[in-house]
Structure 1
Amino acid sequence: MNTPNIALVRIDNRMLHGQIAITWSHHAGGNLILVANDSASEDPVRQNLMDMAAPPGMATRYFSIQKTIDVIHKASPAQKIVMVVENPQDVLRMVKGGVPIKEVNVGNMHFSEGKKQIHKTVSVNQNDIDTFRELTELGVVCTIQRMPEEEKIEIMSAVNEG
């Protein structure tokens, strides 16, 4: 079984947009953007919109969480995967499903009812906090970093300060 070459895993509820497509994919050295999301995997209109944000020559794939778990180990070693997920719960599902995620970049988690803001671009509720805690206990490093040049902030220290 192959170990997939996962260059970056980013939580961003905006999914694929210019910032990820250009800045993060180049920073990570990626050549394939994988959007792992159940609803986006079944929405061709949304996929077409996200494809417009991808730089020329950058491959994109839209897989459900389960399909990602099922096929990630079949990825070619030449594929340097930039994975975009919507929320920490999907990351946890993939980790428990055997996807070898070692680090998660937390980019954007928008504020909504019942969430508290812990960073200018990250708001969490108790479910999110519990999920990040479980990911951390499983050895996954979870850090907030909006842009590559910014300093990484460990998610649980941000939660504890927030």
Structure 2
Amino acid sequence: MPNILATRIDNRLIHGQVGVTWVNHIGANLILVADDVVANDNIQQSLMDMAAPNTVDTRYFTIQETIDKIHFAADDQLIFLVVRTPQNVLKLVEGGVPIKKVNIGNMHFSEGKKQITSTVSIDEDDAKILRKLHELGVELEIRRVPDERSKDILEFI
């Protein structure tokens, strides 16, 4: 069983909050970004590597690669799994990745989305996917930084 310490939805993927604050808070030694675009973009990977502490390894896998490889993680890999969208979390869960809880940190506002907190905006598809994840037994919290009180997303959808 892989040691997934935390899973976070953040459409910025690795940045200061993820690379320093969350990694230190949970004690991760590996940030795994599961994202089909970034997995094939060396420039984005290099930029994200700059935001990660040099004491932490980074991996960039597609969603399918994550499903295929996560169960081969070494016992000493303490994984912080970061994804861009709830849709990707659902694909991972349905693919057998053992995700029990998801921290929703940042989902940008865009046309057709409703802002539900200062950093999280969702549309109907997002709400449907989040409800489905809840039905599958995944705990869902909104929390930007570790010292902030978490909010149950079900209060908003």
When normalised by structure 2's length, the TM-score is 0.99
Partner SS, residue 71 of structure 1: helix
Q: Would you say how many aligned residue pairs link Structure 1 and Structure 2?
A: 157
1:5 to 3, 14, 18: 3
Q: After superposition, where does 1:84-123 map in structure 2 within 5 Å?
A: 84-123=82-121
Which amino acid counterpart does residue 152 of structure 1 have in structure 2? S
Q: After superposition, where does 1:6-155 map in structure 2 within 5 Å?
A: 6-155=4-153
Which stretches of structure 1, 4 residues or more, deviate above 2 A after TM superposition?
A: none
- Provide the C-alpha distance between the structure 2 equivalents of 1:65 and 1:77, rounded to a whole number of angstroms: 21
- CA displacement 1:33-79 (0-9 Å, x = unmatched): 00000000000000000000011221000000000000000001100
Which amino acid counterpart does residue 27 of structure 1 have in structure 2? H
Partner SS, residue 90 of structure 1: helix
- Provide the C-alpha distance between the structure 2 equivalents of 1:58 and 1:7, rounded to a whole number of angstroms: 14
- Provide the C-alpha distance between the structure 2 equivalents of 1:8 and 1:113, rounded to a whole number of angstroms: 29
- CA displacement 1:77-96 (0-9 Å, x = unmatched): 10000011000000000000
When normalised by structure 1's length, the TM-score is 0.96
Partner SS, residue 49 of structure 1: helix
Partner SS, residue 30 of structure 1: coil
Deviation at 1:140, TM superposition (A): 0.1
Deviation at 1:158, TM superposition (A): 2.3
Which amino acid counterpart does residue 144 of structure 1 have in structure 2? I
Partner SS, residue 67 of structure 1: helix
Question: Can you give the 5+ residue segments of structure 1 that lack an aligned partner in the other structure?
Answer: none
Which amino acid counterpart does residue 81 of structure 2 have in structure 1? M
Deviation at 1:154, TM superposition (A): 0.6
Which amino acid counterpart does residue 44 of structure 1 have in structure 2? N
Which amino acid counterpart does residue 151 of structure 1 have in structure 2? R
Which amino acid counterpart does residue 105 of structure 2 have in structure 1? G
Please provide the CA RMSD for this pair: 0.5
Deviation at 1:121, TM superposition (A): 0.2
